[in-house]
Every structure is written in C-alpha cells, then in structure tokens.
Amino acid sequence: MKDTQTNEVPVVIVGGGQAGLSVAWCLKQKGIRSVVLERHARFHSWRKNRWDSFCLVTPNWQCRLPDFHYSGEYGGTDPDGYMLKDQITDYLDAFAEMTQPDLREGVEVTRVTPMDHGYVVETSVGTWQCEQVVIATGGYDTPIEPDYAKNLSPEIFQMHSVDYRNVDQFPEGGVLIVGTGQSGVQLMEDFTRAGRDVHLAVGPAPRSPRKYRGRDATDWLYDAGHYAITIDTHPDPHKAMTQTNHYMSGRDGGKEIDLRRWHLDDGVELYGSLANMNGTQVSFLPDLAKNLDDADKSYVGIRNQIDAYIEKNGIDAPTEPPFEKVWQPEAERTDLDLADAGITSVLWAIGFRPDYSWIEADVFDDRGKPVFDRGVTAQTGLHFIGLGWLNTWGSGRFLGIEEDSRYLADQIAAQMTKVSA
C-alpha cells in the first residue's frame, strides 16, 4: 500500500549509483542528513545492465570514490588492471558498507516540484519535502533505437546493448552490430570470439591508444594534466560535450581496437553509418573511410600529445614505430540484404538518452539537457551529479566523482546556510 505520509529531510538524492552515494557520504561528513531514493536496488545498472564479459575500459587506479580509492582505502591489488563486472560491484558494495547511506530501494521518484524554500518529491511510496534535491540518475534512461528499426523484417532478431548478456541470446547466423563506441567494439569481440560472422556499422566514434611508449595511454594523459582540464577552459567545449567516448578495451589486460585490423585478421565486415531499414534491406552512408580516418586522426593525436609531454619533460621512454594504416576500403557498400548475407540479428549499440520529464523546473535547454555550473543549476536547491563533463573529463566516471561530490556538498551546505539565515 502506498504511504501517504509526507516525510521531511534536508536533502533528497535521486539515484542509488556511485554518484548518488558519493554525494550522500560527502554530505554526511558535513553533518547534513540526506535520503537516497533508488527505483531498483543500489548499483542496479552495474549489476543488471552490463554484459557477462564486461570490464572497465579505464585502469582500476582511476576508481576514486570519496575516501575509498581502489588501491588505497579499498586495498585493491591490481591498480593497472581493469576490473570485471562482479569486481566492480564488489568495490561499490564495499563503499556502500563503509558509508552507510540512508538508502531507500524500490522507490521510484515520479515528480520533483519546486515550492517556497524547497521541493516536493513525489514517489511511488509517498511524498518528501526537502530544501535541496540532487539528481544522480545519470544519462542512461532510454535506450536509443532509430525509428526505422520498426521497419525491419520480424524475421530479423533485434536487441539493444542494455539487454545483451552473451552471444547465446542470439539465433544462429551473422549479426549486424550498429555503433562503434566502447560498447559496440567490445560486443564485436564477443561475437568474433564465439566464431560468429560479424558485420559492423562504423560510426564517428574516435579511438585511443591503449599501451604507448611503455605505459597505458591514460597514465600519460593523467600525468600531463589532460584530465584536469575543466569544461570552462577546454579549447572546444562543444566537441567535448558531444563527442562519443574513445574506444579501446580493458579485456585481457587491455588492448587497443583498430577496426582495420579486425577486418583483416578476424573477418569483420565494415560498413559506414547505418542510414535506413526496410524489410531485410538496409542501407549505409558512404562514410566508412572517413569514419576510420577520423578515428585514426584521434588516435594519432593522442600519441602526439604524449610524445610532446615526454619530450618537454625529458622522460626516458621507449620509442614506437609510426602509425600505419593496415587496410583501406577500396569501395564502400551502401546497400545490403541481411537475409542474403546470412545476417539473422541486429544488435543496437548507439547509446542512450536521459529522461528528465519528471522534473518540473526551468533548468533545461531547448534540447532537454540540464543547464548548470558544475552541477549547480540556476534553480536554488536543484543540482545534478554524475554526468559527463560536469567539470572535467572524469565527471561521470570514477576518476572525477570525488572532486565533483565534495564540490557539490560544499555548494549545498552554503545554500542551506543562506536559506536558514
């Protein structure tokens, strides 16, 4: 039965993932009481929305929850490794046990409404009144599938990456994977390891080196101050905010992904961006060569950035041979009959979009994205955490969550002081 009682608390945090619990911990350290409302169970997306072979793309040392760093307070023994799915949830569970948040699981927030000196938060089990609200739901609410997916023949099996766990979920035959962000290329490897015929619609995602000149590329970039660049000092903030994550892998100790080589060595068929579907007919844009070249441009750019840092600081590091393209498409295929090609499945890996329709506050732009300064909106008492480029590249990732959470806790404390003064 729904609880009709109105509860009162200084701060309501919506979302029981690492971002929400990090803010709760930082507020607790300031003596500010909060309640965390989670519609599923804590860390649901890590437990339920990741495939079986999932592992981190960034090294374990970047897991830096507040007062709970992987190789520090947590005692992790492999800082340069890449935690698997169950290891990630073990790490997160240990953080929750240490911080002991007031976490209410199975509670769905249905509306957040400003009122005088605070907010009304309506939920599936009752109502809360509070001075401050933190939205920590992330940007992965609604899986993206294009409208023309409805036109695909029912004979072709379809699935979004959010529901993917392993290859056994798919019927026999080839698979068309749509999207080459971090998810798409890792799912490509799952299917090739299983001996499946893989067809890949290559989008505009950039790629990154993995190991370069004796170290993980992310180690070099961290030392060079790349991850300390803030969005307000970034030379191209629009590109930073809209660009897909660079693809690489943490599997088998970490590897870089060169799609040209996957085509040559593993037989992955490459096409340009998917453009349309009708029955078993699909069409692609003639942008395969451009997308591969652009990804390589990003790859070489990161290498050059690391080279410049090494030279500037006189670091003794091994050299690497110059980059060379191992394959170039001579002609681009823009039309394909899935049935004729033996393709029985389509796997969508083109991302997600957030859903903030339940927040009744004038803090969104014309595209529905929240407008804020380091998570603090113009609506007093309404904040966001855990989104990409909240302040730095590490925002929305384990690397930047401590800095972002402490800053937001400071801002909440200051606003509450003003309200009560």
pLDDT 10s digits, 89-125: 999 999 999 999 999 999 999 999 999 889 999 999 9
SS3 content of the chain, % helix, strand, coil (to 5): 30, 25, 45
Rounded distance between C-alpha atoms, residue 413 and residue 390, angstroms: 19
- Strand ranges, E, within 166-296: 174-178, 198-201, 211-212, 215-216, 269-271, 274-278, 281-284
> Considering the chain, what percentage of its residues have pLDDT values greater than 70?
98
The whole-angstrom distance between residue 75's C-alpha and the CA centroid of its chain comes to 25
Listing DSSP states for 294-331 in one string gives HHHHHHHHHHHHHHHHHHHTT------PPP--S---SS
Summarize pLDDT for 319-358 with one digit per residue, the tens.
Answer: 999 999 999 999 999 999 999 999 999 999 999 999 999 9
Summarize pLDDT for 263-314 with one digit per residue, the tens.
Answer: 999 999 999 999 999 999 999 999 999 999 999 999 999 999 999 999 999 9
Range 144-348 classified under CATH 3.40.50.300: no
> Which of the pair, 4 or 19, is modelled with greater confidence?
19
Strands 335-337 and 269-271 turn out to be unpaired
CB neighbours (10 Å) of residue 335?
A: 11
Residue 243 confidence (pLDDT): 86
Q: Are 358 and 110 contacting, i.e. CB atoms less than 8 angstroms apart?
A: yes
Q: Which amino acid is residue 307, in one-letter code? A: D
Question: What's the rounded mean pLDDT across residues 361-386?
Answer: 96
Q: Where do the H-state alpha helices sit in 131-256?
A: 182-193, 217-223, 237-242
Share the mean pLDDT of the chain. Answer: 96
Pick the CATH number of 6-141+354-420 from 3.40.50.970, 3.60.70.12, 3.40.190.150, 3.50.50.60: 3.50.50.60
Q: Closest Cα to residue 34, out of 130, 135, 108?
A: 130
Q: Closest Cα to residue 305, out of 235, 238, 224, 237?
A: 224
- Domain regions of the chain by residue span: 6-141+354-420, 144-348
Whether the domain at 6-141+354-420 and the domain at 144-348 fall into the same CATH topology = yes
Q: Is the dihedral of CA 175, 327, 305, 235 positive or negative?
A: negative
Strands 198-201 and 274-278 turn out to be unpaired
Q: Closest Cα to residue 54, out of 134, 170, 165?
A: 165
Q: Is the pLDDT of residue 409 over 90?
A: yes
pTM of the model: 0.95
Token pair for 260: 């040209």
Rounded distance between C-alpha atoms, residue 84 and residue 342, angstroms: 33
Confidence bin at 417 (pLDDT 50/70/90): confident
Residue 4 confidence (pLDDT): 57
Summarize pLDDT for 13-37 with one digit per residue, the tens.
Answer: 999 999 999 999 999 999 999 999 9
Summarize pLDDT for 135-183 with one digit per residue, the tens.
Answer: 999 988 899 999 999 999 999 999 999 999 999 999 999 999 999 999 9
Q: Is the pLDDT of residue 421 over 50?
A: no
Confidence bin at 1 (pLDDT 50/70/90): very low
